[in-house]
Amino acid sequence: MPHLVSRQRGLREWRLYLLIVPSLLLVGTFVLLPAVNGIYHSFSDWDGTRAQQLVGLDNFRRAFQDTILWNSFETVSILVVFNLFKMIPSILLAVLIHRLRSDRWQYAYRALMVVPMIIPGLVTLFVWKSFFDPNLGLLNRVLDLTGLKWALVSLDQRVFHWGVFFPHVPVGWLTQPELILPSLFIWGFPWIGTVGVLIYLAGLQSISQEIYEAAELDGVGSFGKFLYIELPLILTQVRLNLLLLIIATLQGYGLQLLLLGESGGPAGKGMVPGLWMYNRAFIAGEFGYACSIGMILFGFILALTIVNNRYVRVAK
């Protein structure tokens, strides 16, 4: 009797829906409501107080003529490309750990990967800020001690004529406009993303030992195993990391805020959309305009995610 079955199932589902109501309420109140609120405010001239007026598309019209905003999108695009390069060390490290013969060491390294997670991100940022310090920072000292500084100065003066590196003058990593982007690239060296490594490792561990052995019989060498087996088989994980990374880069501005300040450093070279949104809201008090920047950013990320899902296909 199909009717009876479907009624029973309906009843069961009805109870299940009831179970998710509390979490739905919480998510609704603290996540969805502010987001919807943001959409509403993006059409207003809200300045953070109660008084506000709907201004239609004014905020968006303004945004399209806002050169700082578009420059910040350019900057963030460059950062995304940087971060693509920064994925490589994590993949290599994951493969190296995976190839360790001793299970015990493999476990130890995996555990070691988790340790950095207990350090708050803010602390890491402060540590890096101190690294970049012209006089006391680790970076300049390493450059001096290794002679790399000398090499940079020679390159600057004889080949490229950047006008950035001078003998006996400490490099102002975060104060010279030309060095802002390179600094943001260097940041996080050697670019080991611990979560990334663990995600790759999970993918690598699902490759059966027999596949490695079959490859060995086929005559695949050590690098060949990486190229023909490991890399293709963790592409799903790489894609996931890629997506997370792009979204994080597009949204993020904590790094820029902390290293460069609320105006994006000298000449605004480090200005990213998120920071500009923050700047407009909390420095200029233009909350309505900040909301519209947020909406534009949202659209941007959504579009990229769709593209990523559709075109960066990986066989599962």
Partner 1 sequence: MARVVIENLVKTYPEARGPAVRAVNNVCLTIEDGEFMVLVGPSGCGKSTTLRMIAGLEEISGGTVAIDGKVVNHVLPKDRDIAMVFQNYALYPHLSVYDNLAFGLKLRKFSKVEIDLRVREAAALLGLDPYLARKPKALSGGQRQRVAVGRAIVRQPKVFLFDEPLSNLDAKMRVSTRAEISKLHRQLGVTMIYVTHDQIEAMTMGDRICVMRDGLVMQVAAPLTLYNCPGNLFVAGFIGSPPMNLIRGTIQPAQDALQFVETSPASSPATITLNSALAARAAAYTRQPVVFGIRPEDLHDARTFPPGSQGATINTRVDYSEPMGAETLLYLNTGATSLIARARPTDRFEPGQQVEMTCNLENAHLFDPATELVI
Binding site for partner 1 (CB under 8 A): 208, 210-211, 213-220, 224, 228-229, 232-233, 235, 315
155: Cβ contacts below 8 Å, ≥ 6 apart: 165
Cβ proximity to partner 1: between 220 and 304 the closer is 220
Residue 59 CA to residue 289 CA, distance in Å, equals 5
Q: What are phi and psi of 80, to 5 degrees?
A: -60, -45
Cβ proximity to partner 1: between 103 and 190 the closer is 103
Cβ proximity to partner 1: between 195 and 207 the closer is 207
Q: Please report how close the Cβ of residue 313 comes to partner 1 at its closest, in angstroms.
A: 12
Q: Please report how close the Cβ of residue 231 comes to partner 1 at its closest, in angstroms.
A: 10
92-98 — which CB contacts under 8 Å span 24+ positions? 93/192, 93/197, 94/196, 94/197, 94/200, 94/201, 94/204, 94/234, 95/200, 95/204, 95/226, 95/230, 97/197, 97/201, 98/201, 98/204, 98/205, 98/230
Residue 292 CA to residue 93 CA, distance in Å, equals 41
Q: Please report how close the Cβ of residue 233 comes to partner 1 at its closest, in angstroms.
A: 6
Residue with tokens 């027999």: 210
Cβ proximity to partner 1: between 227 and 248 the closer is 227
Cβ proximity to partner 1: between 56 and 232 the closer is 232
Q: Say which DSSP state 247 is in.
A: H
Cβ proximity to partner 1: between 41 and 98 the closer is 98
Residue 284 CA to residue 276 CA, distance in Å, equals 10
- Residue 241: CB atoms within 10 Å: 21
Run of H or E including 125? helix 121-132
Q: Please report how close the Cβ of residue 213 comes to partner 1 at its closest, in angstroms.
A: 5
Cβ proximity to partner 1: between 224 and 261 the closer is 224
Cβ proximity to partner 1: between 38 and 224 the closer is 224
Q: How far is CA 41 from the centre of its chain?
A: 27
Residue 217 CA to residue 233 CA, distance in Å, equals 19
Token pair of 166 as six digits: 């001078």
